[in-house]
Amino acid sequence: MNFLYPQNVISIIYLNHTNTGWKHRATFNMEITQSIKEAVAKAVSELYQHEVQESEVQVTPTRKEFEGDYTVLVFPFTRAAKKAPPVLAEELGNYLTENVDDIAGFNVIKGFLNLVISEAYWAKFLLSVAAQEDYGKHASNGKKAVVEYSSPNTNKPLHLGHIRNILLGWSMSQIFDAAGYEVKRVQIINDRGVHICKSMLAWQKYGEGNTPESLGKKGDHLVGEYYVVYNNEEKEQRAALEAAGDCDGEPQILQEAREMLRKWEANDPETRKLWATMNGWVYAGFNETYKNLGVSFDKLYYESETYLLGKDMIEKGLDKGVFYKESDGSVWTDLTDAKLDKKIVLRSDGTSVYLTQDLGTAQLRYEDYHMDKSIYVVGDEQDYHFNVLFELLKRLGESYADGLYHLSYGMVELPSGKMKSREGTVVDADDLMQEVVSIAREESLERGDVSGLTGERQEEAWRRIGMAALKFHMIRVTPRKKMLFDPKESVDIQGQSGPFVQYSYVRTKSVLAKAGDWDIDISAYQTPQPQEKELLTIIRKYPDTILEAAKNYDPSLIANYAYELAKSYNKFFHDVPILRAETEAGKGFRLTLTQVVGRVLTSALDLLGIEVPERM
């Protein structure tokens, strides 16, 4: 931070500004589009005696091939005004030019009213942004959001699919934070069940007492290997049974796994001890992976502690008529009127199912946090489940039901086909991260040593670059779409990529470092270039983009925004001299612009969980 614009500088500008016209507004409104909307609404009201909402007025940046900065669409008002679009546009244009101080002129093409913003506006806007250290972030709205993500099973290490989940979850939580929410990050750990017992059993049979320490291996990987061992064994036994003509028989090892689960549920000390030990190995491994991914959690829920929850909600639902009892004692719900089917919620022996458990955990979470929004980051194969879950909570009359959202994302596919964790054909999260960083290292070395960094600092830069490539690549795709994961493209560091955005940031830092300290009055700068206007137009969108991303639960909007800004800065950087600007005011303007761009890029990348390197 080289300097801060004191508030009074801006006040002086306001003062000059108000002397010359726009009487409806006492202070300079940073939001030029908002001013335009208000003025258009007012104009339509005054000129044609027709009330319109500001939100009905569409203002967009003018397309490059036309003259002007912002464009108003007049089509929506033609009926009320009873005028042809060009005539109406002409009249509105005159009104706006006369009444809005920052509008210097206009032109009309068909029904499009292109407004030309005054040259003085841009410096004012830039100053107002520069005065805000955390520009783009919204003040607290007093609401609370809980984001649940990752939610792994403890029988295998994290893989590519989890990475998409984790990155989306983390980014979403960052975005909600920036949008003004108080955010809590949680995960529910699926730490019990037959699948957990399977790896326990295989380790017990074939593990020979090996531990992560004795083998020097990450705990989650070790446990995952025994899960594969189990599945291979089961497959062999099944094949043997079929060869013997017994197609309905159950493999011995599966029966043993079931038996182990029974013991676990009966609190058998031996089984519980093994379970605790092996889960401990897995947690240590997960924590390492989470740390490398740069994510964290405020609270962990363990399924072993929550899987019996939800029964009291069944009671409540029976009273309300949401559920009904079958003759065998099982409890069901009928959601056919909501295009959902009949679902069981309690077995005839009184035990609960997945759905029941989730009803209970939703309740528990609300008791813990009293959140306004609860976001579940879970793959789209569970769309149906969440539809049912949310519908039930609504019917049960839970106050928090409206704030529930399933952030559903598509499967990650590999060029070679689907991943199957049972068969071991997965892209391991740890391997992938390592790979991506080592490619960043190679690429960097190939380019020669331009960064000037050495040792640990260089290693850290490579790590950030590699991780940026991976993260950006996964977040830039709209969540609901399934995505093809091409390993080659994921480590791409040019074009539409994380490192591309980082590079722009590094450039801003480099220029600012060369500039040293400066203190220049930029309000005299009256000749903004097209490249500068474009950058400022993009910068203006940042706060809106954050809200949009939160509203749509879509981090990809931020990724695409960051790319757009970086691209625009690169062009500016190439075309326009900064340190050797024609005038002092110009130099100050461009340095300030550079500083603001650097800040917004860092901020946007931070929302994606991406860190910036100091050099590259």
CB of 578 to RNA, least distance (A): 3
**Binding string, 257-276, against RNA, x = CB under 7 A?**
--------------------
Distance CA 115, CA 96 (A): 9
**C-alpha count within 13 angstroms, C-beta hemisphere, residue 512:** 21
Q: Which of 385, 394, 395, 457 lies at the binding interface for RNA (CB under 7 A)?
A: 385
- Count of chain residues binding RNA (CB under 7 A): 93
529 binds RNA (CB under 7 A): no
Q: Which of 89, 573, 599, 610 lies at the binding interface for RNA (CB under 7 A)?
A: 573
CB of 208 to RNA, least distance (A): 29
Within positions 322 to 341, which residues make up the interface with RNA, using CB under 7 A? 326, 328, 330, 339, 341
**Residues contacting residue 312 through CB under 8 Å, at least 6 positions apart:** 360
Cβ atoms of 114 and 71 within 8 Å: the answer is: yes
**Binding string, 8-47, against RNA, x = CB under 7 A?**
----------------------------------------
Within positions 499 to 518, which residues make up the interface with RNA, using CB under 7 A? 499-500, 503, 506-507, 509-511, 514
**Binding string, 290-309, against RNA, x = CB under 7 A?**
-------------x---x--
Nearer to RNA, 271 or 560 (CB): 560
* Segment interacting with RNA (CB under 7 A) among 179-187, 210-218, 268-276, 576-584: 576-584
CB of 460 to RNA, least distance (A): 12
Burial of 176 (0-12, 13-18, 19+ CB in 10 A): buried
Residue 400: count of CB within 10 angstroms of its CB: 18
**Binding string, 341-360, against RNA, x = CB under 7 A?**
x--x--xxx---xx--x---
Cβ atoms of 54 and 20 within 8 Å: the answer is: no
112 binds RNA (CB under 7 A): yes
476 binds RNA (CB under 7 A): yes
DSSP code of 28? -
Distance CA 601, CA 405 (A): 29
* Segment interacting with RNA (CB under 7 A) among 18-26, 203-211, 282-290, 574-582: 574-582
In the chain the first and final C-alpha atoms are separated, in Å, by 21
Nearer to RNA, 119 or 548 (CB): 548
For residue 227, what are its two tokens? 């899960």
**Residues contacting residue 339 through CB under 8 Å, at least 6 positions apart:** none
Distance CA 291, CA 302 (A): 20
548 binds RNA (CB under 7 A): yes
Distance CA 261, CA 266 (A): 8
Nearer to RNA, 236 or 326 (CB): 326
**Residues contacting residue 138 through CB under 8 Å, at least 6 positions apart:** 178, 179, 180, 543, 546, 547
Residue 119: count of CB within 10 angstroms of its CB: 14
Within positions 59 to 98, which residues make up the interface with RNA, using CB under 7 A? 60, 62-63, 65-66, 68, 71, 73, 75-76
Question: Could you tell me the sign of the dihedral formed by the alpha carbons of 496, 498, 499, 503, in that order?
Answer: positive
Q: Which of 291, 495, 521, 530 lies at the binding interface for RNA (CB under 7 A)?
A: 495
Within positions 143 to 162, which residues make up the interface with RNA, using CB under 7 A? 153
For residue 333, what are its two tokens? 């719900």
For residue 249, what are its two tokens? 């028989």
Q: Which of 277, 384, 423, 527 lies at the binding interface for RNA (CB under 7 A)?
A: 384
Cβ atoms of 147 and 176 within 8 Å: the answer is: yes
109 binds RNA (CB under 7 A): yes
- Three-state DSSP class for residue 110: coil
Query: Which segments of 50-107 does DSSP mark as H helices, in order?
Result: 78-81, 85-99
526 binds RNA (CB under 7 A): no
CB of 611 to RNA, least distance (A): 14
Q: Can you say how many angstroms the Cα of residue 30 is from the centroid of all Cα atoms in its chain? A: 27
Within positions 595 to 614, which residues make up the interface with RNA, using CB under 7 A? none
438 binds RNA (CB under 7 A): no
Q: Which of 9, 47, 194, 520 lies at the binding interface for RNA (CB under 7 A)?
A: 194
